[in-house]
Amino acid sequence: MGAVETYSTSEKEFFNFLSQNKNNYLKNELVEFHVNKIFNNSDFVINEYKYTYFKDYTLKSITNSSSKHIELAFILNDEVIEDKINDKKNIYLPNHNYIYYTPNGVNVEIYYKKNVTYRNLDIYVSPDFFHDFFEKTSYIDPFISSIDSKKFTRLINDGIPISPQMFYALKEIKECELKGISKEYFIKARIMYLLQLIFEWIDEKLSNQKKENNSRLKNDDINILNDIQNFIKKNPEQYYTIEQLSNQFYINEFKLKKGFKELFGMGIYQFSSQVHMKYALELLKNSDLSIKEIAYKTGYSSSSAFSVAFKKECGVNPNKIRQKKVNTKKSNY
């Protein structure tokens, strides 16, 4: 953090805490702030933040950091975050990832609400690594050019939804107990995997945009398909057949199947599976339901069928996630 307008002892204490980057915890009249420093080497810095302000607060600063990293910010709270950078407003949606670069000398205002717990895990990547990794990816050239010109830039303004695979990779990074060179290789591999997932999503989005430009779907059809997608997202405990969705939303089955894949880049069953597995992952991590109960709760008739589907979607057996939860509980006693 750079030059900051401060008006109270609590604010001075808070900005001193941020600028020195030595301590992991601060609580005063303004804020309670936790920092989990997960990893740090020449290519990557990984920090997890959890913080709550005790009043509505606008954090104002001018960036002034020796670090020149590109930031991969994973927003893990349930509240939208708004900021203004050089008078341009930006939003950060819950459970989304944002890739951006902020040079020195930028005016930043971030708006926080009272008594909301914010959480984000940030991966700071060196520009040299980013250049080497994506040198043949032409569509990020404008992003790289802005970085080289030392301008604030975001790669995808709307953000990238955090998939179950991304959530699990972040969990592995946080829980890694390896030491030395083994840890460095493991963390680098997980970051590479996250970048792979992110850019697969971007590739798919660009492909879908091209299809949309050539689409014969009418606006009414697009609105109905968006309604169906939102309906599936909001009902992760239910499975619906093509016939049921067709009847409920008054769209013929052929147009539903073909249009959904054309608009969203995947079939309804694939999309529904992703929604169910994301919900199942949350239940595995945050509930005491058995795997069998979670299987039934997400529409599967048996735990074995659920386990096969979960591993296919998330890349790991649900028993492994549940065992880690049990081990974490035991270590807390």
Contact predicate 157/205, CB 8 Å = no
Which pLDDT band, with edges at 50, 70 and 90, does 245 fall under? very high
- Cα–Cα distances (Å) from 77 to 96, 243, 291, in that order, read 10, 36, 26
Q: What angle do CA 131, 136, 140 make, to 5 degrees?
A: 65
pLDDT for the residue 5: 54
Q: Which of 218, 217, 220, 208 has the alpha carbon at shortest distance from 249?
A: 220
- 3-class state of residue 98 by DSSP: strand
pLDDT for the residue 1: 37
Which pLDDT band, with edges at 50, 70 and 90, does 2 fall under? very low
Residues 281-307 pLDDT 10s = 888 888 888 898 998 888 787 888 888
Which pLDDT band, with edges at 50, 70 and 90, does 54 fall under? very high
Q: How confident is the model over 25-48, as a mean pLDDT?
A: 95
Q: Of 5-9, 87-91, 276-280, 298-302, which gets the smallest average pLDDT? A: 5-9
- Between CA 120 and CA 109 the distance in angstroms is 17
Instruction: Please state the pTM of the whole predicted model.
Output: 0.66
pLDDT for the residue 214: 60
Residues 189-237 pLDDT 10s = 999 999 999 989 988 887 777 666 665 678 888 899 999 999 999 998 8
Q: How confident is the model over 65-89, as a mean pLDDT?
A: 88
97 Cβ contact list (under 8 Å, min separation 6): 72, 73, 74, 75, 159, 160, 161, 162, 166, 198
Q: How confident is the model over 163-175, as a mean pLDDT?
A: 93
The token pair at 56 is: 């509505």
Name the phi and psi angles at 142, rounded to 5: -60, -35
First to last CA, the chain: 38
- Between CA 165 and CA 313 the distance in angstroms is 8
**pLDDT of 122 higher than 60:** yes
- Between CA 27 and CA 14 the distance in angstroms is 9
Contact predicate 166/194, CB 8 Å = yes
Contact predicate 187/119, CB 8 Å = no
Mean pLDDT of all residues in the chain?
Answer: 86
